[in-house]
Amino acid sequence: MKLKIAKVVLRVIGTLSALLGLAMLCAMILVFLLAKTKSWDSVIVLPILTVLPFAAWQLYVGCLVWRDFSPRVVQQVCGVLAFLGYIFIARHTVLNHETAMNLPWSPLAFIGLIVVTWAVHRIVSKRLNHWLFPEFG
């Protein structure tokens, strides 16, 4: 029973991730098409080059969730959740104030958030994989 519920939850999260990736991809295409510049300015290229890999990764996770159910799927879904959690936490803590970027500790806060997010991702995905797939652990 726990495997069925976990499969449904991971498929829902993976599907939402794929929809978010598709929305990001469509938004970048729309920004590129509606740009009034004739040349490839860094204003247009930089957001596309930074968002495009994450959108493709989220689409990949959405396809992977519906293809098979394995420890790799659990790791990828936990990775997507960790990435989105990092973006949310960074936006609401470090980037919340207009003077936060002028503080000397803000680069350290970004690095610290990356380390904490990575550690939480590793712990959660390992425990979830051990719980769902005891034969692999």
122-135 pLDDT tens trace = 999 999 888 888 88
Indicate if 60 and 74 belong to the same structural domain. no
**Boundary-marking domain end, from 68, 93, 117:** 68
Domain that holds residue 82: 70-137
Indicate if 42 and 77 belong to the same structural domain. no
Indicate if 133 and 86 belong to the same structural domain. yes
Task: Look at residues 58, 52, 49 and name the one whose alpha carbon lies nearest to residue 15.
Answer: 58
Indicate if 97 and 54 belong to the same structural domain. no
**Boundary-marking domain end, from 19, 53, 68:** 68
Task: Look at residues 62, 67, 91 and name the one whose alpha carbon lies nearest to residue 77.
Answer: 62
| Rounded Cα distance, 30 and 24, in Å | 10
Helix (H), strand (E) at residue 45:
helix 42-67
Beta-carbon contacts of 62 under 8 Å, excluding residues fewer than 6 positions away, are 14, 15, 17, 18, 19, 21
| Rounded Cα distance, 84 and 78, in Å | 10
136 DSSP assignment: T
69-123 pLDDT tens trace = 888 999 999 999 998 888 887 777 666 665 555 667 767 777 888 899 999 999 9
pLDDT value at 52 more than 70: yes
Indicate if 49 and 74 belong to the same structural domain. no
Say how many domains are in the chain. Answer: 2
Indicate if 11 and 32 belong to the same structural domain. yes
What is the DSSP annotation of 67-122? H--SHHHHHHHHHHHHHHHHHHHIIIIISSSTTGGGSTTHHHHHHHHHHHHHHHHH
Indicate if 62 and 74 belong to the same structural domain. no
Is the pTM value of this prediction over 0.95? no
Indicate if 83 and 133 belong to the same structural domain. yes
